[in-house]
Amino acid sequence: MAERLIYLPLGGAGEIGMNAYVYGYGEPGRERLIVVDLGVTFGDMDSAPGIDLIMADVAWLEANRDRIDAIFITHGHEDHVGALGLLWPRLQKPIHCRRFTGALARLKMEEAGQPTDQLHIHAPRPAVVEAGPFRVQFVPISHSIPESSALIIDTPAGRIVHTGDFKLDGTPVVGEPFDPMMWHEIAHEGDGIKVLTCDSTNVFSPQPGRSEAILANPLLDFVTSQRQMVVATTFASNIARLRTLAEAGVAAGRKICLLGRAMRRMITVATETGILDRFPAVIGPEEAAELPRDKVMLIVTGSQGERRAASAQLSRGRYLGIQLKEGDSFLFSSRTIPGNERGVIRIMNALSESGVDLYDADDGIYHVSGHANRPDIEAVHELLKPKMVIPMHGEHMHLREHAKLAEKRGIASAIATNGTMLDLSGDAPRVVDQIETGRTYLDGSVLIGAMDGVVRDRIRMALNGHAMVSVIIDEDDNPLPDAWVELSGLPEKGRAGVPLASNLESELAEFLERADDKIVMDDDKLEDGIRKITRQVAMEEIGKKPEVTVVISRLAAE
Could you say which residues in the range 443-472 bind its own copies, by CB under 8 A? 443-446, 448, 452, 454-455, 457-459, 461-466, 468, 470, 472
Contact 446, 457 (CB under 8 A): no
The one segment of 127-135, 313-321, 349-357, 378-386 that binds its own copies by CB under 8 A: 349-357
Scanning 138-146, 279-287, 369-377, 545-553 for contacts with its own copies by CB under 8 A, the matching segment is 545-553
Instruction: Print the binding letters for residues 235-264 with its own copies: x by CB under 8 A, - otherwise.
Output: ------------------------------
What CA–CA distance (Å, rounded) separates 77 from 531? 47
CB 90 within 8 A of CB 60: no
Q: Please tell me the count of residues contacting its own copies according to CB under 8 A.
A: 64
For residue 45, state whether it binds its own copies (rule: CB under 8 A). Answer: yes
Q: Which is nearer to its own copies, 44 or 179 (CB)?
A: 44
From 101-109, 185-193, 335-343, 376-384, span contacting its own copies (CB under 8 A): 335-343
* Backbone dihedral angles phi then psi of residue 248, each to the nearest 5 degrees: -65, -40
Q: How far is the CB of 18 from its own copies (least distance, A)?
A: 16
Nearest-angstrom CA–CA distance, 205 and 202: 5
The string of DSSP letters for 61-79 reads HHHTGGGEEEEE-----HH
Strand 13-14 and strand 394-395: the pairing is parallel
Residue 314's closest CA among 285, 278, 339, 279?
A: 285
Stretch that binds its own copies, among 98-106, 122-130, 232-240, 437-445 (CB under 8 A): 437-445
CB of 365 to its own copies, least distance (A): 13
Stretch that binds its own copies, among 114-122, 127-135, 374-382, 488-496 (CB under 8 A): 488-496
Q: How far is CA 36 from CA 15, 139, 197, in A?
A: 16, 14, 12
Measured CA distances, 269 to 156, 276, 280, 335, 481 (Å): 37, 9, 15, 24, 67
Residue 434 interacts with its own copies (CB under 8 A): yes or no: no
* Whole-number Å distance between alpha carbons of 39 and 76: 9
User: In a 3-state reduction of DSSP, which class is residue 259?
Assistant: strand
Residue 12: CB minimum distance to its own copies, A: 14
Q: How far is the CB of 84 from its own copies (least distance, A)?
A: 19
Edge-first strand order for the sheet with 40-41 is 40-41, 53-56, 439-443, 446-449
Contacts of its own copies in 165-194 (CB under 8 A): none
How far apart are CB 315 and its own copies at their closest, in Å? 11
432 vs 501, beta carbon nearer its own copies = 501
Q: Who's near 460: CB < 8 A, 6+ residues apart? A: 547
Q: Does 528 bind its own copies (CB under 8 A)?
A: no
The amino acid at residue 450 is A
Q: Which is nearer to its own copies, 181 or 446 (CB)?
A: 446
Span from 121-129, 159-167, 308-316, 479-487 in contact with its own copies (CB under 8 A): 479-487
Only one of the segments 129-137, 220-228, 405-413, 477-485 lies at the binding site for its own copies (rule: CB under 8 A); that segment is 477-485
Q: Which of residues 394-413 bind its own copies (CB under 8 A)?
A: 395-397, 400
Residue nearer to its own copies on the CB measure, 36 or 232: 232
CB 382 to its own copies: min, Å: 24
Residues 6+ apart with CB under 8 A from 394: 13, 14, 16, 199, 200, 201, 203, 402
Applying CB under 8 A, among 127, 156, 489, 513 the residue interacting with its own copies is 489
If you compute the radius of gyration of the chain from its CA atoms, what whole number of angstroms results? 28
User: First vs last Cα of the chain: how many Å apart?
Assistant: 70
Q: How far apart are CA 233 and CA 364, in angstroms?
A: 15
Is 208 near its own copies (CB under 8 A)? no
Strand partners for 433: 421
CB of 227 to its own copies, least distance (A): 15
Q: Which of 188, 261, 342, 409 lies at the binding interface for its own copies (CB under 8 A)?
A: 342
Q: Does residue 523 contact residue 552 with C-beta atoms inside 8 Å?
A: yes
Q: How far is the CB of 133 from its own copies (least distance, A)?
A: 33
Specify the residue, 242 or 399, whose C-beta has the smaller distance to its own copies: 399
Q: x-or-dash pattern for its own copies, window 47-66, by CB under 8 A?
A: --xx----------------
Which of 120, 493, 525, 535 is the binder for its own copies (CB under 8 A)? 493
Asked whether position 207 contacts its own copies by CB under 8 A, the answer is no
Sign of CA dihedral 168, 172, 177, 180: positive
- Number of helical H runs and strand E runs in the chain: 17, 29
Whole-number minimum distance, CB 467 to its own copies, in Å? Answer: 10
Half-sphere exposure of 193 (CA within 13 A, CB side): 28
Give just the sign of the alpha carbon dihedral 390, 391, 397, 403.
negative
Nearer to its own copies, 44 or 433 (CB): 44
Distance CA 31, CA 432 (A): 13
Q: Which is nearer to its own copies, 303 or 425 (CB)?
A: 303
Q: Would you say 152 or 490 has its CB closer to its own copies?
A: 490
Q: Which residues bind its own copies (CB under 8 A)?
A: 14, 44-46, 49-50, 338-339, 341-342, 345, 348-353, 355, 358, 395-397, 400, 443-446, 448, 452, 454-455, 457-459, 461-466, 468, 470, 472, 480, 482, 484, 486, 488-495, 539, 542-544, 547, 549, 551, 553, 555
